[in-house]
Chains A and B, each alone.
Chain A
Amino acid sequence: MRMDGGKFFGAYRAFSGIRDAVVLNHVPVGCNWGAGMFRTISDQADVRQACTVMHEREIVFGGEESLRRALLRADELYDAPLFLVIAGDVPSIIGDDVAGIVDELSLEKEVLWTEAAGFSGSMRSGYEEALLRLAPLMSGCDTTEGSINLIGFCPDDFKVESDVKEIKRSMKRAGIEVNCVISNCSSEEFKKAPAAELNVVFGQGTDLAKLMKEEFGIPYTELDYPYGIEGTEKFIEYVSESLGTGWDADLEHEIEPFKKVYLYLHELCKTPVSIIGDFHAGPLAEFLAAELGFEVEHLSSSGSDLDRQRFEQEVRGSDTMMIFGSSFERDLARELEVPLVRFNYPVFDQVSIYDNAPYAGFGGAAFLTETIINAIMGLGDF
């Protein structure tokens, strides 16, 4: 079994990243609840979603009338420029004509939609397809020199605000501006995404980057998520070379915080650890091994549940002293009595509300190291 939210979750995570849009889930109550729950845990004051409440009567008579009614009412109630409709399992099976309903209504707001039956694909595929559905919003515009778009984010990624802020700070030092963060931006920012000189894809959103290359001639590159001093340096070097902005790396200042704990870092060298997650996992493993000197015993980054089970079994039989993963790894960490550092979606038992506490970028390398040391020293705290 895959540990994967499926296509509906992927689409929801992509659509809800357009921060001034309303997501209308054309689904039974549970899908709407689940997607919203995973999101509101990390941001309780940002609720902009509704549901068409597909019930048995919709199964019998079709859900088109429910969708029509919900769109008309949403048009009256919400002060938002954009509605994004996600059609889940049930309308896909019963064959609701979502496009027909969206086309027939003359609403004040713009409406886009995507089909995202959970059975028809993975979370990644839902994310990719939903971003493609947003693409018609984009329009050709003047290029802003030395600017890039970052693609692959979700609004419910752990540390998303901090990481983006820190990546922007690091890029600025190299004279590079971040034009748009997809999908964690306003609809206006999304529309102006074609102003960037380069699209940088972290793990997902490649299809949109390809489309933007075809439509707007914007090149794209797929890079590792910038964890660590080295990882961030490589990332900035690559982008600055691509844009021809040039960059003189002066990392003395970034190394400074580590001096304060250099003895701990000596002691932690060769500590066996295990890592599980999505596309963030590989780059994190690289930082832990190459820069902190940890021994990465097991790394699982495919999202497949068979891999996950194998991962759990292997970790149980290993010398792992620390696990890096999502909140779903909490039971395993407790069982093995080792610390868990949460870095990967979904994180529902920790919060990240201060946007200067990143895991990515130069600053993130220090803060992540601080988190790791505190987790180890705090083991057994009750």
Chain B
Amino acid sequence: MERQLQDSSRKGPSLLQSTFRERAFNGIYEVVARQNHFYGINCKLSGSVYVVSEIEGAVPLVHGSCGCAFHHRLSPRKLFSPISDLACTEMDETDVIRGGEEKLRAGIIDVYQRYDPALIVILPTCVSGLIGDDIPGVIESLRSKISCDILHAPSEGFSHRDGDSVEVSLKNAAKSMKCSSAPPTAQDLRGCGHEEMMFALADQLMEEQDVIENSVNLEAFGRHTYRFWNDVEEMRRILGKIGVELNTTVPTTSVDAIKRAPSAPLNIVVTRNTRWADRMKERFGTDYVKKWYFYVGFDKVGKFFIEMASKLGLEGEAEDAIRRERKRALGDLSESRRLFKSYSFAISTQSFLFNPNLLSVYTEDLQMPLRWILIDSQPMKSMKISRDTVEMMTGNLIDIAEKQDMEIEILVDPSSEKMARVAKGVDWLLTDRTGPPSEKEGDLGMMNIATASNLIHQTGFCGIVEFGKHLAWKLQRRTKKDAQKDASNPHRKLIVSRFDYEEDCYPMIKDPMCSSSRRMWSEIWC
């Protein structure tokens, strides 16, 4: 079994602890990257560098000027873990005039000698891309001299993604929700670097293998995050119950394991793009199944595993295993569900719009009597999502509620007065918003479930169980009166609530320079 899977069997923090660790210790870095998306997007090269940094024994060689390498040591996806082993050809003016191929050749030999890597990944930049260096030619010329693997992935920063890519992606997903039998078409998110690098692995590194029956590869990354090992372990556990072996995770594994990925007959794809899996299908006949982000809740997760298993002819085994898993999960949740039934709830949410299936997790899996859903569409607005798409997504949520015959009132961007009335009308108002309540919301004694509710998105059953138990524990520990007392305490004045914020870009601080910078970006990036 692969090294990371051995690692995953170690006894570490629980899933819940890992989730809180992720928020506290990595989230503090990620918030800056998130906020900076109001003013720009990161380079395509950062996505490629990130993927290489996930591969054990691989060293990225940036073919460009030293500034590119300096900057990309700090990848926006892992600001908490700068990349140390990153090399650069340090192109200068002479290389721009005469070409950088000789420097690249020398750079590859230098990296090979200095790092003793299992894989060198050449990542071109704007400069080498513009002058047209023949990177495949240089690699070929060194094959006999370098015993490690070498590949290249297009990473030129000027071919970044378009400004409407998020809108197109969300509209695509929203449309498909209307028709559950037609999942959204995979989207080519050209220019993010991640996809290009994944394609390069399938295209240039993987090798023909004898197929190991009933095994799968899982697209998974984030070796430096706290949740990674828990999530892989849960997936492996359920696959094991079905009789399927996890061959490897891609790209987070060793170079050898990636080479051997074609020994699995099936890939589980989790990102928006399927180009790498399509390429594996072309080259090795490896089939794939897409695990869409909106497959949440016992029902949808179960369907996913059954769909996956049917590709291996193990549908019956999967149905049995899922039935047992579900039964066990419901058993584990029985006390919590009993408790939830004794209260009434409202949820102030930003995430239900992105994924209306979350509603069924609360109402069906957790049996929570939900009276109101208060939709905050501000994140959509800040991402320039069109009104049409937002309305389509809201409609999807209403459809799900109607289909399930729920008596839930759904309010989009309610006024603060309305929110206060809702808060009074239920036992508990929950919120999945990260951070403190906005000025508009006020502090209504809401119970914040932002961090813990991330557990719901795990592809498995444990996440929802842990979330349910955690929520029950919180409800028992704290009365609504306590929360309201805190909210009405005149001495309780959060420092962050002393600042003014942009209404449509919370939590962007209200400042004329910041505001103009954001508008510039929003108008120019198209």
Cβ of A330 under 8 Å from chain B: yes
Contact residues, B83-114 vs A (CB, 8 A): 84, 87-88, 90-93, 95-96, 114
Binary per-residue interface labels of chain B (23-45) against chain A in the complex, 1 for a CB within 8 Å, 0 otherwise: 00000010011011001111111
Given contacts A50-B520, A348-B79, contact A34 B525 (CB under 8 A): no
Given contacts A1-B88, A94-B130, A119-B95, contact A28 B513 (CB under 8 A): no
The smallest beta-carbon distance between B158 and chain A, in angstroms, is 4
The smallest beta-carbon distance between A86 and chain B, in angstroms, is 12
Rounded to whole angstroms, the CA-CA distance of A78 and B87 in the bound complex is: 39
Cβ of B369 under 8 Å from chain A: no
The smallest beta-carbon distance between B472 and chain A, in angstroms, is 29
Rounded to whole angstroms, the CA-CA distance of A324 and B80 in the bound complex is: 19
The answer on a CB contact under 8 Å between A47 and B513 is yes
Given contacts A1-B90, A40-B36, A90-B126, contact A47 B517 (CB under 8 A): yes
The answer on a CB contact under 8 Å between A28 and B74 is no
The answer on a CB contact under 8 Å between B90 and A2 is yes
Q: Which of B63-71, B141-149, B438-446, B454-462 contacts A (4 or more CB under 8 A)?
A: B63-71
Cβ of B152 under 8 Å from chain A: no
Contact residue among B43, B87, B131 (Cβ-Cβ distance under 8 Å from A29): B43
Given contacts A51-B521, A51-B524, A69-B524, contact A78 B159 (CB under 8 A): no
What is the interface residue range for chain A against chain B? 35 or more
Cβ of B509 under 8 Å from chain A: yes
What is the interface residue range for chain B against chain A? 35 or more
Given contacts A55-B159, A119-B95, A348-B74, contact A41 B32 (CB under 8 A): yes
Q: Which of A3-11, A134-142, A184-192, A236-244 contacts B (4 or more CB under 8 A)?
A: A3-11
The answer on a CB contact under 8 Å between A90 and B158 is yes
Q: Cβ of B160: which chain A residues have Cβ within 8 Å of it?
A: 28-30, 55
Q: Cβ of B67: which chain A residues have Cβ within 8 Å of it?
A: 4-9, 31, 118, 123
Cβ of A331 under 8 Å from chain B: yes
Q: Cβ of B91: which chain A residues have Cβ within 8 Å of it?
A: 119
The answer on a CB contact under 8 Å between B32 and A48 is no
Cβ of A252 under 8 Å from chain B: no
Name A's interface SS. helix
Q: Cβ of A40: which chain B residues have Cβ within 8 Å of it?
A: 32, 35-36
Cβ of A58 under 8 Å from chain B: yes
Cβ of B72 under 8 Å from chain A: yes
The answer on a CB contact under 8 Å between B36 and A34 is no
Given contacts A45-B511, A118-B67, contact A78 B131 (CB under 8 A): no
Among A31, A46, A69, A79, chain B packs the most CB atoms within 10 A around the CB of A31
Rounded to whole angstroms, the CA-CA distance of A47 and B42 in the bound complex is: 16
Cβ of A89 under 8 Å from chain B: yes
Q: Cβ of B79: which chain A residues have Cβ within 8 Å of it?
A: 41, 348
Rounded to whole angstroms, the CA-CA distance of A55 and B33 in the bound complex is: 22
Rounded to whole angstroms, the CA-CA distance of A29 and B44 in the bound complex is: 9
The answer on a CB contact under 8 Å between A36 and B82 is no
Contact residue among A9, A37, A49, A327 (Cβ-Cβ distance under 8 Å from B33): A37
Cβ of B514 under 8 Å from chain A: yes
The answer on a CB contact under 8 Å between B126 and A29 is no
Q: Cβ of B517: which chain A residues have Cβ within 8 Å of it?
A: 22, 47-50
- 20 of the cross-chain contacts (CB-CB < 8 Å) are A1-B88, A9-B70, A22-B517, A29-B43, A30-B43, A30-B71, A31-B67, A31-B157, A34-B71, A34-B74, A36-B40, A37-B42, A38-B74, A41-B32, A48-B517, A70-B524, A79-B512, A90-B126, A331-B84, A348-B79
Interface on A for B, CB 8 Å cutoff?
Answer: 1-9, 22, 28-38, 40-41, 44-56, 58-59, 66, 69-70, 73-74, 77-80, 89-90, 93-94, 117-120, 122-123, 305, 309, 327-328, 330-332, 346, 348-349
| Apart from A30-B157, A332-B84: 11 A-B pairs, beta carbons within 8 A | A5-B70, A31-B43, A37-B76, A50-B517, A78-B516, A89-B64, A94-B130, A119-B65, A119-B127, A328-B73, A328-B84
Nearest 4 Cβ contacts at the A-B interface: A30-B43, A6-B67, A34-B71, A118-B67
